[in-house]
């Protein structure tokens, strides 16, 4: 699963992201699901805080695509 932030004014679908990944990444790196968020939390180094994203999904399992 991948979490992505759309740029304002763009129209991107999950299938577009997956197709882009298929062209450029190895088979094990291609996400099966793509979730779009308004923003992603950042750590002190201004990098995406993956632990915070994982914690949010752990606390909100209803948002996981396989639980829908």
DSSP state of 28: G
Q: Return the CATH fold of 2-67.
A: GMP Synthetase; Chain A, domain 3 (3.30.300)
- Produce one character per residue of 17-56: b if its CB has 16 or more CB atoms within 10 Å, e if not: beeebeeeeeeeebeeebeeeeeeeeeeeeeebeeebeee
User: pLDDT digit string (tens) for 5-35?
Assistant: 998 899 999 999 999 999 999 999 999 999 9
User: pLDDT digit string (tens) for 42-59?
Assistant: 999 999 999 998 898 888
Taking the C-alpha atoms of 18, 20, 25 and 30 in order, what is their torsion angle to the nearest 10 degrees? Answer: 0
Domain ranges of the chain: 2-67
Query: In sequence order, what are the beta bridge partners of 3?
Result: 35
């Amino acid at each position: 699963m991948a979490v992505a932030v759309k740029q304002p004014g763009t129209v991107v679908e999950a299938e577009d992201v997956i197709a882009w990944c298929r062209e450029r990444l190895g088979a094990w790196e291609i996400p099966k699901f793509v979730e779009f968020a308004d923003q992603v939390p950042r750590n002190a180094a201004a990098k995406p805080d993956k632990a915070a994203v994982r914690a949010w999904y752990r606390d909100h399992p209803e948002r996981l695509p396989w639980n829908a």
